[in-house]
């Protein structure tokens, strides 16, 4: 926990049976924080009744926070940009204050507090979104993201605002604790390849619709499914995850378990 009043604020107690693995101290605008990494060996790697067929692919984006392979979208709360006006005011206040002066230090602290408010809201949104997805699906597939590379582009502010890396870390952690699976897959051409026929359909970033000339998966064809490019990408992500060895192993375990249960039921009735 953090605290600027000299005392220690405990965010929550350490549950029984948990072992402290690592500890790190960070300084924030409102005090020092001790972050503990805990281990509970009683939690299985995957739950016994995990259903490999309960799988969804998600594509994180800027227009929408994410789009699923089922076509569902979750909007991005633009916390950073909504607070940008307030941040600019405080930033100007900092630059106008005399270096080393008390007023400048006060303004710097205000700026830090404003940034922290935005970060806390974003984190809360990430936790709620992860909880929502994991309540519906046992397996969630997502792209392996090169966030460091994206942070060097003109999209850096939008990437920061969405907090993709933070969200995927939270999603993976919550899935692990629940005995569920997250599967990262290659991001290569997930938006470009057609999820119906697999052929490459090149499109620039501003082209938001998937329109395949090879199989007719387009806006104009009445027999085809209308697919926004992020929806198309999410389906490709799901399809790639379904070919992963970890999911094949889970299917084998599930089929073996079902077969054994059927066998024991049969022998028990004889």
Any domain includes 31: no
Boundaries of domain holding 158: 42-76+118-259
- Please report whether residue 72 resides in a domain: yes
Buried b (16+ CB within 10 A) or exposed e, 22-47: eeeeeeebebeeeeeeeeeeeeeebe
Whether residue 156 is contained in a domain is answered as yes
The H or E element containing residue 108 is: helix 102-136
**Per-residue pLDDT reduced to its tens digit, 178-205:** 999 999 999 899 988 998 888 898 888 7
Share of the chain above pLDDT 90, in %: 23
In a domain, 47, yes or no: yes
- Is residue 190 assigned to a domain? yes
The mean pLDDT of the chain is 79
What pLDDT sits at residue 161? Answer: 67
The model's pLDDT over 3-13, given as tens digits with 9 standing for 90+, comes to 445 567 776 67
139 forms beta bridges with: 55, 181
pLDDT tens-digit readout, 87-133: 888 888 888 888 888 888 898 898 888 888 888 888 999 999 999 99
The count of structural domains within the chain is 1
CB atoms within 10 A of CB 110: 17
Distance CA 50, CA 182 (A): 12
pLDDT digits (tens, 9 = 90+) for 134-156: 999 999 999 997 766 666 666 66
Residue 197 domain flag: yes
User: For the domain that residue 135 is a member of, what is the CATH number?
Assistant: 3.30.420.140
Residue 182 in tokens: 């997250």
């Amino acid at each position: 926990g953090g605290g600027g009043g000299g005392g220690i604020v405990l965010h929550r107690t350490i549950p029984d049976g948990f072992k402290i693995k690592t500890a790190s101290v960070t300084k924030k605008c409102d005090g020092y924080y001790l972050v503990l990494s805990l281990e509970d060996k009683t939690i299985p790697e995957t739950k016994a009744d995990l259903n490999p067929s309960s799988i969804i692919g998600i594509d994180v984006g800027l227009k929408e926070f994410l789009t699923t392979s089922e076509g569902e979208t979750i909007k991005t709360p633009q916390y950073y940009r909504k607070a940008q006006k307030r941040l600019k005011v405080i930033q100007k206040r900092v630059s106008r204050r005399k270096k080393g002066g008390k007023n400048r230090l006060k303004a710097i602290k205000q700026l830090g507090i404003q940034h922290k408010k935005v970060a806390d809201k974003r984190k809360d949104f990430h936790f709620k979104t992860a909880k929502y997805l994991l309540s519906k699906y046992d397996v969630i597939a997502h792209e392996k993201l090169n966030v460091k590379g994206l942070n060097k582009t003109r999209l850096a502010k939008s990437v920061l605002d969405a907090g993709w890396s933070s969200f995927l870390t939270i999603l993976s952690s919550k899935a692990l604790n629940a005995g569920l699976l997250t599967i990262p897959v290659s991001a290569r051409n997930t938006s470009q390849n057609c999820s119906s026929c697999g052929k490459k359909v090149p499109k620039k970033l501003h082209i938001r619709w998937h329109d395949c000339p090879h199989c007719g998966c387009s806006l104009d064809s009445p027999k085809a499914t209308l697919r926004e490019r992020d929806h198309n990408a999410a389906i490709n992500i799901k399809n790639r995850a379904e070919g992963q060895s970890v999911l094949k192993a889970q299917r084998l375990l599930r089929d073996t378990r079902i077969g054994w249960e059927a066998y024991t039921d049969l022998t028990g009735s004889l």
